[in-house]
Amino acid sequence: MSQVNCPDCSKSVSLPDNTEVGDVLVCDSCEVELEVTNLEPTQVDHLLAQK
């Protein structure tokens, strides 16, 4: 299981082994929703609300 730092609070967020680009994660520390934007290297960004 890999990890990435939350862009809001800098805490570590765990990614399940089967994580794919586009998956949504929630930071356990600050509860912000993050979208996986890249796997190599692992990157996340804030989930943009659909209009």
Query: Which residues partner with 12 through β-bridges?
Result: 5
Which H helix or E strand runs over 39? strand 33-39
Tens-level pLDDT at each residue, the chain (51 residues): 799 999 999 999 999 999 999 999 999 999 999 999 999 999 999 998 554
Question: Which domains are assigned to the chain?
Answer: 2-46 (2.20.28.160)
pTM over 0.95: no
pLDDT (0 to 100) of residue 51: 41
d(Cα 19, Cα 24) in Å, to the nearest integer?
9
Neighbour-count burial of 20, counting CB atoms closer than 10 A to its CB (0-12 exposed, 13-18 middle, 19+ buried): exposed
Residue type at 39 in one-letter notation: L
